Amino acid sequence: MKRIAVLTSGGDAPGMNAAIRAVVRSGLSRGWEVFGVQHGYAGLVGGEIRNLSARDVGGIIQQGGTMLGSARAPEFKTIEGRTKALRHLHQHDISGLVVIGGNGSQTGAHALSQMGLEVVGVASTIDNDLYGSEMTIGVDTALNIALEAIDRLKNTASSHQRAFLLEVMGRDCGYLALMSGIAGGAESIVIPEVPTEPETIAQELRSAYERGKAHAIVVVAEGAKYNAEALANYFKEHREELGFELRAATLGHIQRGGLPGAFDRILATRFGAAAVAALDRGEHGVLVGLNKGAITTTPYAEVTGKKKPLDLGLLELAKQLDG
């Protein structure tokens, strides 16, 4: 009988619980024993490992966050930390590990795999910046949360003829800002991939008012050259010459919480089951992802350290459609 473990690491993402459930139940259905590691790599280094039954993962598919907890674990970045982690797995006679997480987590998983452990990654981060998967767990739900915020801001923006700026997460990647900006019909989208000066944004907003719009919304990625705070300061300083006011809101961690939508639950379920299937056929050192509509596995050597490209044609599309 095979014994495997599952952990969630890095920033949590809505849908992680659905992936845990799929890993546990797919493993159990093969007659394996499945263990959960609490608090990501920190818990692996500390030996926080417990057996999981089918009932332990009951009623979690609809819950946001992760029932296993997550953490950012500096100790795991050292060889000593990883050696400790492996020792704990050996003590439980665990031969396979499923790592549900984003870029940093999969880099850690790659390192464990290079130390001889059978590891399979599951692409999960709201940032959608992980090479090897066109969509990652949590992105769709996070996008819908950003979208709701944009829609709400539009109401108040129109009532007051004020410009609004919404900062969304994404680390160094503009995916969430770009896609929520398109879906929300924002007048200006600011992403790290295209450094934009405050004067350009001001011009885009002014032009929106000149065209008779009642609102002007900017969606800015947290990793952009000028974030919400910097832009809000600029607009405050230039309020008189601009002729309109701007208010800024930062969505922050609100974007990572909430119930996972159907897309993320299904994606996570398919990813979790595929990770166990990969371990079953002896395939490891790979990341499970979604590519061209199919569930795929990509070797870690092709995934880690790579920058996922953003389709900048979509930014042009947003500009074109801003009538």
What residues line the site for ligand F6P (CB under 6 A)? 11, 72, 102, 125-127, 169-171, 222, 256
Minimum distance, C-beta of residue 306 to ligand F6P, in the bound complex (Å): 17
| CB of 81 closer than 8 Å to CB of 61 | no
C-beta of 187 vs 222, nearer to ligand F6P: 222
Burial class of residue 79 (count of CB atoms within 10 Å of its CB; 0-12, 13-18, 19+): exposed
Helix crossing, 103-114 with 79-91: angle to 10°?
70
C-beta of 38 vs 125, nearer to ligand F6P: 125
Minimum distance, C-beta of residue 287 to ligand F6P, in the bound complex (Å): 16
Give every CB contact of residue 195 below 8 A, 6+ residues apart in sequence. Answer: 224, 225
Give the residue among 280, 281, 303 at the shortest CA–CA distance from 291: 303
Residue among 12, 56, 93, 127 flagged as catalytic: 127
**In whole angstroms, what is the distance from residue 119 CA to residue 135 CA?**
21
C-beta of 171 vs 215, nearer to ligand F6P: 171
C-beta of 209 vs 226, nearer to ligand F6P: 226
Helix crossing, 16-29 with 262-280: angle to 10°?
40
Which of left, alpha, beta for 305 (phi over 0: left; psi -120 to 50: alpha)?
left
Minimum distance, C-beta of residue 116 to ligand F6P, in the bound complex (Å): 28
Residue 127 is among the residues annotated as catalytic for this protein? yes
Question: What is the chain's percent helix, strand, coil content, to nearest 5?
Answer: 45, 20, 35
| CB of 274 closer than 8 Å to CB of 267 | no
**In whole angstroms, what is the distance from residue 142 CA to residue 219 CA?**
14
Minimum distance, C-beta of residue 72 to ligand F6P, in the bound complex (Å): 6
SS3 205: helix
C-beta of 32 vs 76, nearer to ligand F6P: 76
Backbone angles phi, psi at 92, to 5 degrees: -90, 5
Sheet bearing 216-221, strands edge to edge: 188-190, 216-221, 163-168, 246-250
Minimum distance, C-beta of residue 171 to ligand F6P, in the bound complex (Å): 4
Minimum distance, C-beta of residue 125 to ligand F6P, in the bound complex (Å): 5
C-beta of 146 vs 163, nearer to ligand F6P: 146
Active site residues: 127
